[in-house]
Structure 1
Amino acid sequence: MKTVWRNLGRLVVIAAFSISAAHARQLEDIKANGKFVCGLTIVQPFAYYDQTTREVVGYEVDLCNMIAADLGVKSEGKVVAADVRVPELIEGRIDLLAALMSYTKERAKVIDFSNQYVEDGFYFIVREDSPIAKVDQLSDKRISAAKGSLYQSAAARKFPDANVIAFDDGPLAFLALQQGKVDATIQRSAAAVGLQLRSPEGSPKIRLLEPPLLRQGSGFGIRKGEDEFKAYLNSFLDKLEASGEAQKLWDKWLGSKSDYKLERTFKIGKAMG
Protein backbone atom coordinates (compact mmCIF):
# COMPACT_ATOMS: atom_id res chain seq x y z
CA MET A 1 0.00 0.00 0.00
CA LYS A 2 2.86 2.42 0.77
CA THR A 3 4.24 1.83 -2.70
CA VAL A 4 0.85 2.69 -4.21
CA TRP A 5 0.70 6.04 -2.43
CA ARG A 6 4.34 6.83 -3.31
CA ASN A 7 3.42 6.28 -6.93
CA LEU A 8 0.37 8.48 -6.56
CA GLY A 9 2.59 11.16 -5.08
CA ARG A 10 4.74 11.09 -8.20
CA LEU A 11 1.59 11.43 -10.27
CA VAL A 12 0.73 14.64 -8.42
CA VAL A 13 3.96 16.16 -9.73
CA ILE A 14 3.20 14.91 -13.25
CA ALA A 15 -0.32 16.33 -12.99
CA ALA A 16 0.93 19.73 -11.89
CA PHE A 17 3.33 19.87 -14.82
CA SER A 18 0.62 18.77 -17.23
CA ILE A 19 -1.75 21.48 -16.03
CA SER A 20 0.87 24.16 -16.55
CA ALA A 21 1.68 22.86 -20.02
CA ALA A 22 -1.96 22.60 -21.10
CA HIS A 23 -3.03 25.90 -19.48
CA ALA A 24 -6.13 24.12 -18.14
CA ARG A 25 -8.17 24.42 -21.31
CA GLN A 26 -9.42 20.88 -21.76
CA LEU A 27 -13.04 21.79 -22.53
CA GLU A 28 -11.95 24.01 -25.42
CA ASP A 29 -9.55 21.33 -26.66
CA ILE A 30 -12.28 18.68 -26.71
CA LYS A 31 -14.52 20.93 -28.79
CA ALA A 32 -11.66 21.81 -31.13
CA ASN A 33 -10.65 18.16 -31.59
CA GLY A 34 -14.24 17.09 -32.19
CA LYS A 35 -13.68 14.00 -30.04
CA PHE A 36 -14.27 13.07 -26.42
CA VAL A 37 -12.34 10.05 -25.04
CA CYS A 38 -14.05 8.49 -22.05
CA GLY A 39 -12.24 6.00 -19.77
CA LEU A 40 -14.39 3.04 -18.72
CA THR A 41 -13.89 0.05 -16.43
CA ILE A 42 -15.79 -3.16 -17.12
CA VAL A 43 -18.48 -3.61 -14.46
CA GLN A 44 -21.94 -4.63 -15.68
CA PRO A 45 -24.34 -2.87 -16.08
CA PHE A 46 -22.21 0.29 -15.94
CA ALA A 47 -19.89 -0.68 -18.80
CA TYR A 48 -19.63 -4.11 -20.43
CA TYR A 49 -19.29 -5.89 -23.75
CA ASP A 50 -22.59 -6.68 -25.47
CA GLN A 51 -22.44 -10.37 -26.40
CA THR A 52 -24.10 -9.77 -29.77
CA THR A 53 -22.35 -6.65 -31.03
CA ARG A 54 -19.15 -6.91 -28.91
CA GLU A 55 -19.48 -3.17 -28.34
CA VAL A 56 -19.16 -1.65 -24.87
CA VAL A 57 -22.56 -0.59 -23.55
CA GLY A 58 -24.01 0.41 -20.18
CA TYR A 59 -25.02 3.16 -17.80
CA GLU A 60 -21.67 4.96 -17.92
CA VAL A 61 -21.35 4.50 -21.69
CA ASP A 62 -24.69 6.25 -22.15
CA LEU A 63 -23.53 9.05 -19.88
CA CYS A 64 -20.38 9.55 -21.98
CA ASN A 65 -22.42 9.54 -25.19
CA MET A 66 -24.82 12.10 -23.72
CA ILE A 67 -21.93 14.41 -22.78
CA ALA A 68 -20.44 14.09 -26.26
CA ALA A 69 -23.81 14.87 -27.86
CA ASP A 70 -24.23 17.89 -25.60
CA LEU A 71 -20.77 19.15 -26.62
CA GLY A 72 -21.38 18.38 -30.28
CA VAL A 73 -18.42 16.00 -30.59
CA LYS A 74 -17.80 12.32 -31.27
CA SER A 75 -17.76 9.94 -28.28
CA GLU A 76 -14.96 7.38 -27.98
CA GLY A 77 -14.87 4.86 -25.14
CA LYS A 78 -11.59 3.38 -23.90
CA VAL A 79 -11.62 0.45 -21.49
CA VAL A 80 -9.02 0.79 -18.71
CA ALA A 81 -8.23 -1.50 -15.78
CA ALA A 82 -9.16 -0.19 -12.34
CA ASP A 83 -5.56 -0.09 -11.09
CA VAL A 84 -4.29 2.03 -14.03
CA ARG A 85 -7.28 4.28 -14.70
CA VAL A 86 -5.85 7.27 -12.79
CA PRO A 87 -2.46 7.22 -14.61
CA GLU A 88 -4.31 6.90 -17.93
CA LEU A 89 -6.20 10.09 -17.10
CA ILE A 90 -3.25 12.08 -15.77
CA GLU A 91 -1.03 11.17 -18.70
CA GLY A 92 -3.66 12.47 -21.11
CA ARG A 93 -4.67 9.26 -22.85
CA ILE A 94 -8.30 9.84 -21.88
CA ASP A 95 -10.28 13.03 -21.29
CA LEU A 96 -12.43 11.82 -18.43
CA LEU A 97 -12.98 8.78 -16.22
CA ALA A 98 -16.49 7.36 -16.02
CA ALA A 99 -15.25 4.27 -14.21
CA LEU A 100 -17.12 4.12 -10.90
CA MET A 101 -14.61 6.46 -9.29
CA SER A 102 -15.52 6.93 -5.63
CA TYR A 103 -14.14 9.97 -3.82
CA THR A 104 -11.26 9.53 -1.38
CA LYS A 105 -8.93 12.15 0.07
CA GLU A 106 -5.96 10.32 -1.43
CA ARG A 107 -7.44 10.30 -4.93
CA ALA A 108 -8.48 13.95 -4.60
CA LYS A 109 -4.81 14.87 -4.18
CA VAL A 110 -4.17 13.52 -7.67
CA ILE A 111 -7.35 14.18 -9.67
CA ASP A 112 -10.51 16.26 -9.39
CA PHE A 113 -14.02 14.88 -9.17
CA SER A 114 -17.32 16.05 -10.56
CA ASN A 115 -20.46 15.69 -8.50
CA GLN A 116 -21.89 12.18 -8.35
CA TYR A 117 -23.75 10.42 -11.13
CA VAL A 118 -24.47 7.22 -9.19
CA GLU A 119 -24.48 6.03 -5.58
CA ASP A 120 -24.28 2.49 -4.28
CA GLY A 121 -23.36 0.38 -1.27
CA PHE A 122 -20.26 -1.84 -1.11
CA TYR A 123 -21.16 -5.10 0.62
CA PHE A 124 -19.40 -8.14 1.96
CA ILE A 125 -21.01 -11.04 0.12
CA VAL A 126 -20.99 -14.72 1.02
CA ARG A 127 -22.46 -17.84 -0.54
CA GLU A 128 -25.96 -18.62 0.64
CA ASP A 129 -24.73 -21.92 2.11
CA SER A 130 -22.00 -20.19 4.13
CA PRO A 131 -22.14 -20.40 7.95
CA ILE A 132 -21.06 -16.74 8.08
CA ALA A 133 -24.01 -14.62 9.19
CA LYS A 134 -22.38 -11.38 10.38
CA VAL A 135 -19.74 -9.05 8.98
CA ASP A 136 -17.53 -9.38 12.07
CA GLN A 137 -17.13 -13.11 11.42
CA LEU A 138 -14.91 -12.18 8.46
CA SER A 139 -12.17 -10.73 10.66
CA ASP A 140 -9.72 -13.58 9.90
CA LYS A 141 -11.19 -14.95 6.66
CA ARG A 142 -10.22 -14.87 2.97
CA ILE A 143 -11.88 -11.97 1.15
CA SER A 144 -11.65 -11.22 -2.57
CA ALA A 145 -11.74 -7.73 -4.07
CA ALA A 146 -10.93 -5.97 -7.33
CA LYS A 147 -7.31 -4.83 -7.56
CA GLY A 148 -6.86 -1.11 -6.94
CA SER A 149 -10.43 -0.62 -5.74
CA LEU A 150 -11.48 1.60 -2.85
CA TYR A 151 -13.01 -1.35 -1.03
CA GLN A 152 -9.84 -3.45 -1.28
CA SER A 153 -8.02 -1.01 0.98
CA ALA A 154 -11.11 -0.37 3.14
CA ALA A 155 -11.48 -4.09 3.86
CA ALA A 156 -7.79 -4.40 4.76
CA ARG A 157 -8.15 -1.51 7.21
CA LYS A 158 -11.30 -2.95 8.76
CA PHE A 159 -9.91 -6.48 9.09
CA PRO A 160 -6.09 -6.34 9.36
CA ASP A 161 -5.96 -10.07 10.19
CA ALA A 162 -8.00 -11.08 7.15
CA ASN A 163 -6.44 -12.22 3.90
CA VAL A 164 -7.72 -9.70 1.37
CA ILE A 165 -6.92 -11.17 -2.05
CA ALA A 166 -6.84 -8.84 -5.06
CA PHE A 167 -8.14 -10.00 -8.44
CA ASP A 168 -7.85 -8.15 -11.74
CA ASP A 169 -11.52 -7.19 -11.71
CA GLY A 170 -14.80 -7.61 -9.84
CA PRO A 171 -16.13 -10.56 -11.87
CA LEU A 172 -13.00 -12.60 -11.14
CA ALA A 173 -13.30 -11.76 -7.44
CA PHE A 174 -16.94 -12.88 -7.57
CA LEU A 175 -16.01 -16.11 -9.35
CA ALA A 176 -13.49 -16.89 -6.61
CA LEU A 177 -16.36 -16.80 -4.11
CA GLN A 178 -18.55 -19.04 -6.25
CA GLN A 179 -15.70 -21.54 -6.59
CA GLY A 180 -15.07 -21.57 -2.83
CA LYS A 181 -11.58 -20.09 -3.10
CA VAL A 182 -12.49 -17.30 -0.68
CA ASP A 183 -14.99 -16.97 2.17
CA ALA A 184 -16.42 -13.66 0.98
CA THR A 185 -16.09 -11.03 -1.70
CA ILE A 186 -16.71 -7.28 -1.74
CA GLN A 187 -18.87 -5.89 -4.51
CA ARG A 188 -21.21 -3.03 -5.28
CA SER A 189 -24.73 -4.27 -4.63
CA ALA A 190 -25.77 -3.55 -8.23
CA ALA A 191 -22.71 -5.32 -9.64
CA ALA A 192 -23.26 -8.34 -7.38
CA VAL A 193 -26.89 -8.67 -8.48
CA GLY A 194 -25.78 -8.50 -12.11
CA LEU A 195 -23.09 -11.13 -11.66
CA GLN A 196 -25.59 -13.45 -9.99
CA LEU A 197 -28.11 -12.92 -12.79
CA ARG A 198 -25.50 -13.87 -15.40
CA SER A 199 -24.16 -16.91 -13.56
CA PRO A 200 -24.77 -20.33 -15.13
CA GLU A 201 -27.77 -22.28 -13.93
CA GLY A 202 -26.97 -24.16 -10.73
CA SER A 203 -24.35 -21.65 -9.56
CA PRO A 204 -24.25 -20.98 -5.81
CA LYS A 205 -26.61 -18.26 -4.66
CA ILE A 206 -25.33 -15.33 -2.61
CA ARG A 207 -26.19 -13.27 0.46
CA LEU A 208 -25.29 -9.62 1.13
CA LEU A 209 -24.22 -9.02 4.72
CA GLU A 210 -25.60 -5.94 6.45
CA PRO A 211 -24.44 -3.30 7.07
CA PRO A 212 -22.48 -2.33 3.95
CA LEU A 213 -18.74 -1.77 4.31
CA LEU A 214 -19.39 1.73 3.00
CA ARG A 215 -21.77 3.67 0.81
CA GLN A 216 -20.27 5.96 -1.77
CA GLY A 217 -21.16 8.08 -4.74
CA SER A 218 -19.16 7.94 -7.94
CA GLY A 219 -18.35 10.96 -10.09
CA PHE A 220 -16.38 11.72 -13.21
CA GLY A 221 -12.62 11.86 -12.68
CA ILE A 222 -10.82 14.73 -14.43
CA ARG A 223 -7.34 16.19 -14.41
CA LYS A 224 -6.40 18.76 -11.79
CA GLY A 225 -7.00 22.42 -12.54
CA GLU A 226 -9.70 21.93 -15.18
CA ASP A 227 -12.22 24.12 -13.35
CA GLU A 228 -14.17 25.07 -16.47
CA PHE A 229 -14.57 21.41 -17.47
CA LYS A 230 -15.62 20.48 -13.92
CA ALA A 231 -18.22 23.27 -13.83
CA TYR A 232 -19.59 22.10 -17.17
CA LEU A 233 -19.90 18.48 -15.97
CA ASN A 234 -21.68 19.53 -12.78
CA SER A 235 -24.08 21.67 -14.77
CA PHE A 236 -24.67 18.76 -17.17
CA LEU A 237 -25.53 16.44 -14.26
CA ASP A 238 -27.92 19.01 -12.77
CA LYS A 239 -29.72 19.21 -16.12
CA LEU A 240 -30.04 15.42 -16.28
CA GLU A 241 -31.71 15.33 -12.88
CA ALA A 242 -34.00 18.29 -13.50
CA SER A 243 -35.13 17.03 -16.92
CA GLY A 244 -36.01 13.52 -15.77
CA GLU A 245 -33.31 11.99 -17.98
CA ALA A 246 -31.48 10.74 -14.88
CA GLN A 247 -34.44 8.56 -13.92
CA LYS A 248 -34.81 7.28 -17.48
CA LEU A 249 -31.12 6.32 -17.50
CA TRP A 250 -31.52 4.50 -14.17
CA ASP A 251 -34.68 2.68 -15.27
CA LYS A 252 -32.99 1.51 -18.48
CA TRP A 253 -29.94 -0.08 -16.86
CA LEU A 254 -30.77 -0.71 -13.19
CA GLY A 255 -34.43 0.08 -12.55
CA SER A 256 -37.88 -0.89 -13.78
CA LYS A 257 -36.91 -1.60 -17.40
CA SER A 258 -33.91 -3.75 -16.47
CA ASP A 259 -33.47 -7.21 -14.95
CA TYR A 260 -32.19 -5.58 -11.76
CA LYS A 261 -35.41 -3.83 -10.70
CA LEU A 262 -33.50 -1.65 -8.24
CA GLU A 263 -34.98 1.51 -6.75
CA ARG A 264 -33.05 4.76 -7.15
CA THR A 265 -32.52 6.32 -3.71
CA PHE A 266 -30.15 9.15 -4.68
CA LYS A 267 -30.05 12.23 -6.89
CA ILE A 268 -27.57 12.81 -9.66
CA GLY A 269 -25.51 15.95 -9.07
CA LYS A 270 -24.94 15.61 -5.32
CA ALA A 271 -21.55 16.96 -4.23
CA MET A 272 -18.95 14.45 -3.03
CA GLY A 273 -16.17 14.73 -0.50
Structure 2
Amino acid sequence: MHARAPIVPVLVALLLLAVLSGCGSGDEPRGEDAPSRSGIGTLFEAQQRGEIRIGVKFDQPPFGYVAEEGEGPVGFEVDLGRAIAKKLDVEPQFVRVTTGDRVEMLQSGEVDLVIATMTHTRARDEIIDFSVTYFRDGQRILVPAGSEIESVEDLAGRTVATAGGSTSEVNIRRKAPEAEVLTYETHRKALDALLRGEAEAVTTDGAILMGLKEIAEEEGAAVKIVGGPFSDEPYGIGVRQNDSALRDAVNFALMELVEEGRYEEIYREWFEGEEPFTPEVWPAGS
Protein backbone atom coordinates (compact mmCIF):
# COMPACT_ATOMS: atom_id res chain seq x y z
CA MET A 1 0.00 0.00 0.00
CA HIS A 2 1.40 3.39 -0.96
CA ALA A 3 1.41 6.27 1.54
CA ARG A 4 -0.89 9.13 0.61
CA ALA A 5 1.01 12.27 -0.40
CA PRO A 6 0.36 15.32 1.78
CA ILE A 7 -2.39 17.45 0.30
CA VAL A 8 -1.13 20.92 1.23
CA PRO A 9 2.26 20.99 -0.61
CA VAL A 10 0.57 19.69 -3.77
CA LEU A 11 -2.17 22.31 -3.50
CA VAL A 12 0.35 25.11 -2.98
CA ALA A 13 2.39 24.02 -6.01
CA LEU A 14 -0.72 23.98 -8.21
CA LEU A 15 -1.73 27.43 -7.00
CA LEU A 16 1.70 28.87 -7.74
CA LEU A 17 1.60 27.34 -11.23
CA ALA A 18 -1.81 28.90 -11.79
CA VAL A 19 -0.52 32.31 -10.79
CA LEU A 20 2.57 32.14 -13.00
CA SER A 21 0.63 30.89 -16.01
CA GLY A 22 -1.91 33.66 -15.57
CA CYS A 23 0.59 36.53 -15.36
CA GLY A 24 0.34 39.06 -18.17
CA SER A 25 -3.20 38.20 -19.24
CA GLY A 26 -5.41 41.14 -20.05
CA ASP A 27 -8.43 40.09 -18.04
CA GLU A 28 -7.12 40.11 -14.46
CA PRO A 29 -9.87 41.00 -11.96
CA ARG A 30 -9.71 44.37 -10.27
CA GLY A 31 -10.76 45.85 -6.95
CA GLU A 32 -11.96 43.46 -4.25
CA ASP A 33 -11.52 40.44 -6.58
CA ALA A 34 -7.93 41.28 -7.59
CA PRO A 35 -5.30 38.56 -6.99
CA SER A 36 -3.53 40.74 -4.39
CA ARG A 37 -6.65 40.35 -2.29
CA SER A 38 -7.53 36.79 -3.34
CA GLY A 39 -6.33 33.45 -2.10
CA ILE A 40 -3.97 32.80 -5.03
CA GLY A 41 -2.35 36.22 -4.68
CA THR A 42 -2.03 36.03 -0.91
CA LEU A 43 -0.57 32.54 -0.97
CA PHE A 44 1.80 33.41 -3.81
CA GLU A 45 2.98 36.57 -2.04
CA ALA A 46 3.49 34.64 1.22
CA GLN A 47 5.56 32.04 -0.65
CA GLN A 48 7.62 34.80 -2.27
CA ARG A 49 8.25 36.48 1.10
CA GLY A 50 8.81 33.17 2.82
CA GLU A 51 6.40 34.13 5.60
CA ILE A 52 2.73 34.55 6.34
CA ARG A 53 1.40 37.27 8.65
CA ILE A 54 -0.92 35.84 11.27
CA GLY A 55 -3.02 38.07 13.51
CA VAL A 56 -3.20 36.70 17.06
CA LYS A 57 -3.97 38.17 20.44
CA PHE A 58 -1.10 39.14 22.72
CA ASP A 59 -3.09 39.33 25.98
CA GLN A 60 -5.53 36.43 25.86
CA PRO A 61 -4.30 33.29 27.65
CA PRO A 62 -4.41 30.46 26.82
CA PHE A 63 -5.04 31.39 23.17
CA GLY A 64 -2.40 34.04 22.55
CA TYR A 65 -0.37 36.06 25.04
CA VAL A 66 3.09 37.34 25.86
CA ALA A 67 4.42 35.34 28.80
CA GLU A 68 7.77 37.12 29.06
CA GLU A 69 8.34 40.79 28.31
CA GLY A 70 10.30 41.22 25.12
CA GLU A 71 9.41 37.73 23.89
CA GLY A 72 6.97 36.69 21.18
CA PRO A 73 3.45 35.43 21.86
CA VAL A 74 2.64 31.89 23.00
CA GLY A 75 -0.62 29.99 23.28
CA PHE A 76 -2.98 27.55 21.63
CA GLU A 77 -3.71 29.71 18.60
CA VAL A 78 -0.05 30.68 18.24
CA ASP A 79 0.98 27.02 18.14
CA LEU A 80 -1.85 26.22 15.74
CA GLY A 81 -0.79 29.08 13.46
CA ARG A 82 2.81 27.90 13.54
CA ALA A 83 1.74 24.36 12.60
CA ILE A 84 -0.40 25.63 9.72
CA ALA A 85 2.42 27.85 8.44
CA LYS A 86 4.74 24.84 8.42
CA LYS A 87 2.21 22.97 6.28
CA LEU A 88 2.15 25.93 3.86
CA ASP A 89 5.97 25.92 3.76
CA VAL A 90 6.31 29.47 5.11
CA GLU A 91 7.46 31.02 8.37
CA PRO A 92 4.81 32.60 10.62
CA GLN A 93 5.04 36.27 11.51
CA PHE A 94 2.71 36.94 14.44
CA VAL A 95 1.04 40.34 14.53
CA ARG A 96 -0.93 41.72 17.48
CA VAL A 97 -4.65 42.12 16.89
CA THR A 98 -7.54 42.89 19.21
CA THR A 99 -11.21 42.01 19.11
CA GLY A 100 -11.97 45.48 17.79
CA ASP A 101 -9.39 45.70 14.98
CA ARG A 102 -8.80 42.12 13.79
CA VAL A 103 -11.27 42.25 10.86
CA GLU A 104 -10.07 45.68 9.76
CA MET A 105 -6.42 44.56 9.83
CA LEU A 106 -7.31 41.52 7.75
CA GLN A 107 -9.22 43.56 5.18
CA SER A 108 -6.45 46.17 4.93
CA GLY A 109 -3.80 43.53 4.26
CA GLU A 110 -1.85 44.11 7.47
CA VAL A 111 -2.33 40.41 8.22
CA ASP A 112 -3.02 37.45 5.94
CA LEU A 113 -4.85 35.27 8.49
CA VAL A 114 -6.60 35.93 11.79
CA ILE A 115 -6.49 33.23 14.46
CA ALA A 116 -7.81 35.24 17.39
CA THR A 117 -10.79 33.69 19.24
CA MET A 118 -13.07 34.88 16.43
CA THR A 119 -16.53 33.37 16.30
CA HIS A 120 -17.71 32.51 12.80
CA THR A 121 -21.01 34.35 12.49
CA ARG A 122 -23.23 34.90 9.46
CA ALA A 123 -22.76 38.66 9.79
CA ARG A 124 -18.95 38.36 9.72
CA ASP A 125 -19.15 35.87 6.87
CA GLU A 126 -20.60 38.63 4.70
CA ILE A 127 -17.36 40.64 4.88
CA ILE A 128 -14.60 38.01 5.35
CA ASP A 129 -14.21 34.27 4.79
CA PHE A 130 -13.56 31.58 7.39
CA SER A 131 -11.93 28.21 7.71
CA VAL A 132 -13.72 25.23 9.17
CA THR A 133 -14.29 25.48 12.93
CA TYR A 134 -11.11 24.77 14.92
CA PHE A 135 -12.47 25.39 18.44
CA ARG A 136 -15.91 25.58 20.04
CA ASP A 137 -16.95 27.34 23.23
CA GLY A 138 -19.86 29.04 24.97
CA GLN A 139 -20.26 32.33 26.80
CA ARG A 140 -20.26 32.43 30.62
CA ILE A 141 -19.76 34.93 33.46
CA LEU A 142 -16.85 35.81 35.76
CA VAL A 143 -17.59 37.52 39.10
CA PRO A 144 -15.86 38.23 42.43
CA ALA A 145 -15.84 35.21 44.75
CA GLY A 146 -18.36 36.82 47.11
CA SER A 147 -20.82 37.88 44.40
CA GLU A 148 -24.46 36.81 44.54
CA ILE A 149 -24.61 36.60 40.76
CA GLU A 150 -25.07 32.98 39.73
CA SER A 151 -26.30 33.14 36.13
CA VAL A 152 -27.12 35.47 33.26
CA GLU A 153 -30.62 35.85 34.72
CA ASP A 154 -29.11 37.69 37.72
CA LEU A 155 -27.53 40.47 35.64
CA ALA A 156 -30.56 42.79 35.45
CA GLY A 157 -29.53 46.15 36.86
CA ARG A 158 -25.88 45.07 37.14
CA THR A 159 -22.79 46.42 35.37
CA VAL A 160 -21.17 43.89 33.05
CA ALA A 161 -17.85 44.35 31.24
CA THR A 162 -16.85 42.78 27.94
CA ALA A 163 -14.85 43.49 24.78
CA GLY A 164 -16.49 45.92 22.39
CA GLY A 165 -17.38 44.62 18.95
CA SER A 166 -17.37 40.99 20.12
CA THR A 167 -20.12 38.40 19.92
CA SER A 168 -19.98 38.51 23.72
CA GLU A 169 -21.29 42.08 23.62
CA VAL A 170 -24.06 41.13 21.20
CA ASN A 171 -25.04 38.09 23.27
CA ILE A 172 -25.11 39.82 26.64
CA ARG A 173 -27.21 42.70 25.34
CA ARG A 174 -29.69 40.16 24.02
CA LYS A 175 -29.66 37.83 27.03
CA ALA A 176 -29.59 40.53 29.74
CA PRO A 177 -31.25 43.62 28.22
CA GLU A 178 -31.60 45.30 31.61
CA ALA A 179 -27.88 45.04 32.43
CA GLU A 180 -25.55 48.00 31.96
CA VAL A 181 -22.93 46.80 29.49
CA LEU A 182 -19.47 48.40 29.65
CA THR A 183 -17.23 47.76 26.64
CA TYR A 184 -13.43 47.77 26.51
CA GLU A 185 -10.78 47.27 23.83
CA THR A 186 -9.82 43.84 25.17
CA HIS A 187 -11.16 41.24 27.58
CA ARG A 188 -8.12 41.87 29.76
CA LYS A 189 -9.17 45.51 30.14
CA ALA A 190 -12.67 44.30 30.99
CA LEU A 191 -11.12 42.18 33.75
CA ASP A 192 -9.22 45.23 35.04
CA ALA A 193 -12.54 47.06 35.29
CA LEU A 194 -13.92 44.22 37.42
CA LEU A 195 -10.87 44.24 39.69
CA ARG A 196 -11.14 48.01 40.12
CA GLY A 197 -14.79 47.67 41.11
CA GLU A 198 -16.11 49.49 38.03
CA ALA A 199 -17.99 46.40 36.88
CA GLU A 200 -19.77 43.63 38.78
CA ALA A 201 -19.12 40.92 36.20
CA VAL A 202 -17.14 40.09 33.07
CA THR A 203 -18.65 38.00 30.32
CA THR A 204 -17.09 36.22 27.36
CA ASP A 205 -16.37 32.67 26.25
CA GLY A 206 -15.65 30.11 28.95
CA ALA A 207 -12.08 29.26 27.92
CA ILE A 208 -11.18 32.95 27.79
CA LEU A 209 -12.68 33.40 31.26
CA MET A 210 -10.48 30.58 32.54
CA GLY A 211 -7.43 32.53 31.38
CA LEU A 212 -8.76 35.73 32.95
CA LYS A 213 -9.45 33.88 36.19
CA GLU A 214 -5.82 32.75 36.34
CA ILE A 215 -4.63 36.32 35.76
CA ALA A 216 -6.90 37.64 38.52
CA GLU A 217 -5.74 34.99 40.97
CA GLU A 218 -2.10 35.74 40.17
CA GLU A 219 -2.85 39.34 41.12
CA GLY A 220 -4.36 38.22 44.43
CA ALA A 221 -8.04 38.56 43.51
CA ALA A 222 -10.60 35.85 44.32
CA VAL A 223 -12.99 35.32 41.41
CA LYS A 224 -15.23 32.56 40.11
CA ILE A 225 -16.93 31.52 36.88
CA VAL A 226 -20.68 31.06 37.26
CA GLY A 227 -23.62 29.78 35.25
CA GLY A 228 -23.68 27.47 32.29
CA PRO A 229 -22.93 28.47 28.68
CA PHE A 230 -25.63 30.64 27.14
CA SER A 231 -24.28 30.85 23.59
CA ASP A 232 -22.54 28.76 20.93
CA GLU A 233 -19.17 30.13 19.75
CA PRO A 234 -17.56 28.28 16.81
CA TYR A 235 -14.10 29.77 16.19
CA GLY A 236 -12.84 30.03 12.61
CA ILE A 237 -9.62 31.27 11.03
CA GLY A 238 -10.36 34.49 9.18
CA VAL A 239 -9.16 35.14 5.63
CA ARG A 240 -10.05 37.96 3.27
CA GLN A 241 -13.29 37.79 1.31
CA ASN A 242 -12.89 35.72 -1.89
CA ASP A 243 -9.62 34.30 -0.52
CA SER A 244 -10.90 30.84 -1.40
CA ALA A 245 -7.56 29.30 -2.41
CA LEU A 246 -5.83 30.38 0.80
CA ARG A 247 -8.88 29.31 2.78
CA ASP A 248 -8.74 25.86 1.17
CA ALA A 249 -5.00 25.58 1.85
CA VAL A 250 -5.59 26.48 5.50
CA ASN A 251 -8.48 24.01 5.73
CA PHE A 252 -6.43 21.17 4.24
CA ALA A 253 -3.52 22.01 6.56
CA LEU A 254 -5.83 21.93 9.57
CA MET A 255 -7.35 18.64 8.47
CA GLU A 256 -3.92 17.07 8.03
CA LEU A 257 -2.99 18.23 11.53
CA VAL A 258 -6.09 16.46 12.85
CA GLU A 259 -5.31 13.26 10.91
CA GLU A 260 -1.71 13.24 12.11
CA GLY A 261 -2.70 13.79 15.74
CA ARG A 262 -0.80 17.08 15.94
CA TYR A 263 -3.96 19.12 16.50
CA GLU A 264 -4.84 17.02 19.53
CA GLU A 265 -1.31 17.41 20.90
CA ILE A 266 -1.55 21.20 20.68
CA TYR A 267 -5.02 21.17 22.22
CA ARG A 268 -4.02 19.02 25.18
CA GLU A 269 -0.96 21.15 25.84
CA TRP A 270 -3.10 24.24 26.44
CA PHE A 271 -6.34 22.68 27.73
CA GLU A 272 -5.05 19.99 30.03
CA GLY A 273 -7.67 17.55 31.23
CA GLU A 274 -10.31 18.63 28.71
CA GLU A 275 -11.67 16.44 25.94
CA PRO A 276 -10.28 17.89 22.68
CA PHE A 277 -12.57 19.43 20.11
CA THR A 278 -12.24 17.70 16.74
CA PRO A 279 -12.34 19.94 13.65
CA GLU A 280 -14.22 18.71 10.61
CA VAL A 281 -12.19 16.53 8.24
CA TRP A 282 -13.38 16.01 4.68
CA PRO A 283 -12.76 12.78 2.73
CA ALA A 284 -9.54 12.87 0.69
CA GLY A 285 -10.86 10.92 -2.31
CA SER A 286 -12.43 12.16 -5.55
Larger radius of gyration: 2
| Aligned position for 2:271 | 254
Q: Out of 93-102 and 148-157, give the one that drifted further.
A: 148-157
Are the aligned partners of 2:63 and 2:77 in contact in 1 as well (CA < 8 Å)?
Answer: yes
Are the aligned partners of 1:19 and 1:225 in contact in 2 as well (CA < 8 Å)?
Answer: yes
Are the aligned partners of 2:54 and 2:93 in contact in 1 as well (CA < 8 Å)?
Answer: yes
Q: Can you list the C-alpha shifts for 1:40-98, whole angstroms capped at 9, x where unaligned?
A: 12311111002265221111111121122112222100001211111110111110101
Q: How far apart are the structure 1 equivalents of 2:139 and 2:116? A: 15
Q: Does 1:40 align with 2:51?
A: no
| Aligned position for 1:268 | 279
| Aligned position for 1:242 | 259
- Which among 211, 218, 222 is matched to residue 235 of structure 2? 218
Q: How far apart are the structure 2 equivalents of 1:164 and 1:230? A: 35
Q: Can you list the C-alpha shifts for 1:119-149, whole angstroms capped at 9, x where unaligned?
A: 1221122222111223211122111001221
Q: Does 1:19 align with 2:19?
A: no
| Aligned position for 1:209 | 227
Q: How many residue pairs end up in the alignment?
A: 249
For residue 108 of structure 1, report the CA deviation from its aligned partner: 0.7
Q: How far apart are the structure 1 equivalents of 2:281 and 2:166? A: 22
Q: How far apart are the structure 2 equivalents of 1:148 and 1:203? A: 27
| Aligned position for 1:175 | 192
Query: 1:264 aligns to what SS in structure 2?
Result: coil
**What is the TM-score with the length of structure 1 in the denominator?**
0.84
Are the aligned partners of 1:234 and 1:269 in contact in 2 as well (CA < 8 Å)?
Answer: no
Q: How far apart are the structure 1 equivalents of 2:112 and 2:37? A: 15
Are the aligned partners of 1:116 and 1:270 in contact in 2 as well (CA < 8 Å)?
Answer: no
Are the aligned partners of 1:126 and 1:209 in contact in 2 as well (CA < 8 Å)?
Answer: no
For residue 215 of structure 1, report the CA deviation from its aligned partner: 2.2
| Letter of the structure 2 residue corresponding to residue 183 of structure 1 | E
Q: Does 1:102 align with 2:119?
A: yes
Q: How far apart are the structure 2 equivalents of 1:226 and 1:201? A: 42
Identity %: 27
Any unmatched runs of 5+ in structure 1? 1-15, 256-260
Change beyond 3 A, Cα 1:50–1:202: closer
| Aligned position for 1:185 | 202
Q: How far apart are the structure 2 equivalents of 1:269 and 1:53? A: 36
Q: How far apart are the structure 2 equivalents of 1:133 and 1:68? A: 42
Query: 2:102 aligns to what SS in structure 1?
Result: helix
Q: How far apart are the structure 2 equivalents of 1:94 and 1:23? A: 11
| Letter of the structure 1 residue corresponding to residue 221 of structure 2 | S
Q: How far apart are the structure 2 equivalents of 1:155 and 1:93? A: 30
Any unmatched runs of 5+ in structure 2? 1-29
Change beyond 3 A, Cα 1:207–1:72: closer
Q: How far apart are the structure 2 equivalents of 1:73 and 1:234? A: 16
Higher strand share: 1
Q: How far apart are the structure 2 equivalents of 1:264 and 1:176? A: 32
Query: 2:263 aligns to what SS in structure 1?
Result: helix
Q: Does 1:116 align with 2:127?
A: no
